[in-house]
Structure 1
Amino acid sequence: MQVKDKTVVVTGAATGIGRALALAFARAGARGVAIADLNAAGAAEVAAETQAAAPGCQVFAQAVDVSDAAAVQALTDEATRRFGQVDVFCSNAGIIVRKGLDASAEEWQRIWDINVMAHIHAAKAVMPQMVARGDGYFVNTVSAAGLLSQIGSAPYAVTKHAAIGFAEWLSITYGDRGIKVSCICPQGVQTNMLFGEKGERKGFLQEGSVTPEHVAAATLEGIADERFLILPHPEVLEYYRRKGQDYDRWLRGMRRLQEKVMQEFGGIAV
């Protein structure tokens, strides 16, 4: 799919990858971009920035809690009202809980609602119109953690695996009906999640990290090629192959990496 003249919804768009995606779509000639985020002021700022970068693009911002199915449906309805249809839905919002077995049930539920259920809410909202047209693109921002794992965060590792599982199901179920599906699976990305809002966080993924703009550029390339896996860090594919070739060996290697992280960073992996 070429994004020129297409309409796009991006969630989690006030900062980081979401902001970069919104700008990249607009600059690539998208006809309309909806910028959604829980942070209403941040979404409005990015909308203004996006409009300035691409004056011919129709842009609007909307405050949305992606864990709320009704709110995601309302976003989709508003984008459809303004643009006529939604061609690309980028379900990008996500969070991390840096805990293992000490994570509470409430923390597990919150990350599940945002990292998994938000994708499901988005698909339920937008898929009917896409299937009716026989055309559409669903893009999930996931993580290399969904293919591999996440040292230092059981909730993140589990929910990102689940997000990929849902995207696979979507592709299997709707791929022959004109619906394209992609998963963005980067390693470290230079955002607040990786560095902290004041740059106070240290972790092994910072080395080799890429900018949100790099991720956005890789995403547009992946959409043009209609690839399921979009890998801003190409080496992730080799790691994934090694995992599949010898699971036990891969687990031993991950345990060694965990020990190194514990020694160097006190278990803070991202």
Structure 2
Amino acid sequence: MAKNELHGVALVTGAGSGIGRATAIAFARAGCTKIALLDLNEIGVNEIKSALECLFASANVAAIVAAFVIDILSLESVSRTYSAVKSKFGRIDYAVQCAGIAMLIGRPSNSLEQFDKQIAVNY
């Protein structure tokens, strides 16, 4: 684990799984010791929070890792979460947006609303 190569606060959306989870781990391994983890999946975001806390503890590095549940399709949720992150960390220096969803497009069971939701989240 690098020591303090990345100063500042990192924010990662979609941190509960996949690319977002890998990005959060990469920030920690690069020495970023203040990380805000955001995801709609409360279990997933709390699991990565615990994993990063263990990673920092095993390296004997003081760090602040916080998990936030967010619905990026809700302006109210985004505003509330942004305020909570700013309150916890004071600022945001790095922001990586990894939140995304995938559905099999074209399946008869998929509705136009599901397609619209996928586009809204991913783009």
TM-score by length of 1: 0.40
Q: How does 1:1-270 map to 2 (within 5 A)?
A: 4-55=6-57, 56-100=62-106, 103-116=110-123
- Cα deviations across residues 171-197 of structure 1 (Å, max 9, x unaligned)? xxxxxxxxxxxxxxxxxxxxxxxxxxx
How far has the Cα of 1:113 moved from its partner? 2.1
Amino acid at match of 1:40: E
Indicate if the aligned counterparts of 1:31 and 1:58 stay in contact, CA closer than 8 A.
yes
Larger Rg: 1
Could you tell me which runs of 5 or more consecutive residues in structure 1 were left unpaired when the two chains were aligned. Answer: 117-270
| Cα distance change on mapping 1:3 and 1:107 into 2, 3 Å | farther
| Cα distance change on mapping 1:3 and 1:81 into 2, 3 Å | farther
Once residues 51 and 104 of structure 2 are traced to their aligned partners in structure 1, the CA distance between those partners, rounded to angstroms, is 32
Could you tell me which runs of 5 or more consecutive residues in structure 2 were left unpaired when the two chains were aligned. Answer: none
How far has the Cα of 1:50 moved from its partner? 0.8
Once residues 94 and 32 of structure 2 are traced to their aligned partners in structure 1, the CA distance between those partners, rounded to angstroms, is 10
| Cα distance change on mapping 1:115 and 1:47 into 2, 3 Å | same
Report how many aligned residue pairs link the two structures: 115
Once residues 101 and 16 of structure 1 are traced to their aligned partners in structure 2, the CA distance between those partners, rounded to angstroms, is 24
Relative to its length, the structure with more strand (as a share) is 2
Once residues 100 and 58 of structure 1 are traced to their aligned partners in structure 2, the CA distance between those partners, rounded to angstroms, is 43
Report sequence identity in percent: 31
Bigger relative contact order (CA 8 A; separation at least 6):
2
TM-score by length of 2: 0.82
Once residues 3 and 65 of structure 1 are traced to their aligned partners in structure 2, the CA distance between those partners, rounded to angstroms, is 31
